[in-house]
Amino acid sequence: MARHNLDKKELKILKALQEDCDLSKMALAKKLNLSPAPVIQRIKKLERSGVIEGYHAYVDRTKVGLNVLAFVLVNIGWNKPNALKNFTKKIQKIDEVVESYVVTGEADIILKIVTKDIPSYEALLFNKLAKVDEIERIKTLIVLTEIKYSHVLPLEYE
């Protein structure tokens, strides 16, 4: 993956948009003490280059009834043909899996899962995850308290 060389103004634009992507271009320019035309040009450049992938509404999962957040450590049966490819196809069809990563350490993959409650997680575990043939072992970590949650990437903004 190529790293884009971003100047300080572009970094400030990224920080402001990560904090509030609803800002109008005029409000953003004013907040950054820049004129609107260059801000708009820079945003378009960041979008075209793929640095800005899109704009999203971040939904508070608990306010829509998704009260259980779990991280699931998965070990794959690597002896199965196309294990990772088949696992990936199956996991992408499970809506409750909101993120999935291949990792190092005691597990091969970590899944981030949200459900409305523990019985819903249990149903997901037994009715969906247990049916993924490529999974050899699962270890579930239920989040008790969220300490930090941020979408602002740690770039050198100043």
Say whether 61-142 and 8-48 share the same fold.
no
CATH topology of domain 8-48: Arc Repressor Mutant, subunit A (1.10.10)
Angle at 62 between CA 121 and CA 103, to 5 degrees: 55
- The CATH number assigned to the domain with range 61-142 reads 3.30.70.920
Residue 6: CA count within 13 A, CB half-sphere: 24
pTM above 0.75, yes or no: yes
Give the C-alpha separation, 31 to 13, whole Å: 10
How confident is the model over 41-97, as pLDDT tens digits? 999 999 999 999 999 888 999 999 999 999 999 999 999 999 999 999 999 999 999
Q: Rg of the Cα trace of the chain?
A: 20
Give the C-alpha separation, 3 to 40, whole Å: 22
For the chain, the structural domain boundaries read: 8-48, 61-142
